[in-house]
Amino acid sequence: MRALTTATILGLAAIASAASAQERPDQKAYFGLYKQLVETNTTLSTGSCTQAAAQIGARLTAAGYADSDITLFSVPDRAKEGGIVAVLKGSDAKAKPMLLLGHLDVVEAKRADWVRDPFTLIDEGGYYYARGTVDDKAMASVWADTLIRLKQEGYKPKRTIKLALTCGEETTFAFNGAEWLAKNKRDLIDAEFALNEGGGGRYGPDGKPQLLALQVGEKAAQNYTFEATNKGGHSSQPVPANAIYDLADALKAVHDYEFPVKFSETTRAFFGMTAVKSPPALRDAITKLLADPSDAAANTIVSTDKMMHSTLRTTCVATIVTAGHAENALPQRATANVNCRIFPGETVPDTLVKLQELAGPKVKVSANAPIRPTAIPPALDPKITGPVKAVAAKHYPGLPLLPLMSTGATDGVFLEAVGIPVYGVPGFFTDADGNGTHGLNERIRKDSLYQGRDYLFDLVKAFAG
């Protein structure tokens, strides 16, 4: 037998350690919850969030929660789009509750397009594959598991911990449980703050953790319809008035327009920290833009990065176009959907005014239902950032933690509209390609899932007291 080198021994020890770390009794119990949730189809077309919520409710009951601590909810016309709220009561009546928010629904997944069955959890190559393994069943399962573990440990938090797992986050016209709770059951989810998705971590090209992110604020997503109409006629006798050309001119105007650069407390901090580790040209451009948001030259350099470009402003982009009614007829109607991600503090009506101005008089612009509330950025509150950093230093020593504003949107916008600040906490790391979230073959690294679970559990205890 060939002698084992020190490096080989250390390597084998590391592998054994990683394997044993995923075989703790509490992790085995968690995996059962996670697997059941991932394999419960919760797409809008054929799935049921109500079923998933009931399964979690049953697990909470088995852990010792009273019926009065668990609320399963839905509405009659959307019976499969329900959710669950659970409460672990705190000992200090003066301490306002905290809320753990997550969503149960997932993006549609067509089996024919996937390498693996999207609703069967596959363990392969150090990853778990399935729809929802990341978005958002990793966090939803960890929040439910956290409440179960705390109850089983006999843990008595000073601050009441609430859990809300809802449906409708991924689909515009679904029943949105977070919005419904905010509007109809505000007292049930009332909290000083909420912890949600939106933060996370990123692996570098070498596969090692590179940085952590805390989401503090997000844009509001809003769709607008551009509509051009005309009398039409025979295509053999074209005239200047043409609905397709009018629509095209309007969309070109949107394409050419840049909304002005703006900074929030969060994005100013984000760019300030980013500048420190950027190459000289980018560092100088960021510094100039922070000092003067109207600096066009600096804006051009910074906006070369598509993420930074979007973080600096409201963005609007055409996503769907429909036009004409016959190959041999002049178009009577041409429409387009323009999807906007509106900077916090800016409103849907104000954005509509600008889009109508760009479109001109020949094209009508309207805001599509549902109308999202104005995004309200939460504060960079040390009471939040402090524990996040402290627990991160324990679990991910040496990694930088950046505050960021999400250029996307979560259900946090509905809670912030009623006065509950929402923070997207870190924990789970993803690869540079986004791990197939919203796309094909969604996956999460197994070590990321289990390490994130440990981080989030300790973070909840740090906030709960």
**Strands of 345-445, DSSP E:** 364-367, 401-406, 422-424, 429-430, 443-445
Q: What is the mean pLDDT of residues 408-416?
A: 94
Q: Which amino acid is at 303?
A: S
Q: What is the mean pLDDT of residues 433-460?
A: 96
Alpha carbons 190 and 418: distance in angstroms, whole number:
9
Alpha carbons 185 and 182: distance in angstroms, whole number:
6
Condensed to tens digits (0 to 9), the pLDDT of residues 22-67 reads 579 999 999 999 999 999 999 999 999 999 999 999 999 999 999 9
Are the C-beta atoms of 259 and 219 separated by less than 8 Å?
Answer: no
Confidence band for 5, pLDDT divided at 50, 70 and 90: very low
Note the pLDDT of residue 112.
96
pLDDT at 10 over 80: no
pTM, full prediction: 0.91
DSSP calls for 244-313: HHHHHHHHHHHHH--PPP---HHHHHHHHHHHHTS-HHHHHHHHHHHH-TT-HHHHHHHTTSHHHHHHTS
Which domains are delineated in the chain? 19-218+375-464 (3.40.630.10), 220-367 (3.30.70.360)
Look at 285 and 4; give whichever has higher pLDDT: 285
Residues 365, 370, 376, 377, CA torsion sign: negative
Confidence band for 12, pLDDT divided at 50, 70 and 90: very low
Residue 53 burial by Cβ neighbours in a 10 Å radius (0-12, 13-18, 19+): buried
Round the average pLDDT of the chain to a whole number and report it. Answer: 94
Percentage with pLDDT > 70 across the chain: 95
Are the C-beta atoms of 98 and 387 separated by less than 8 Å?
Answer: no
Q: How many CA atoms lie within 13 A of 196 on its CB side?
A: 31
Are the C-beta atoms of 58 and 109 separated by less than 8 Å?
Answer: no
The residue among 464, 398, 341, 465 whose CA lies nearest residue 87 is 464
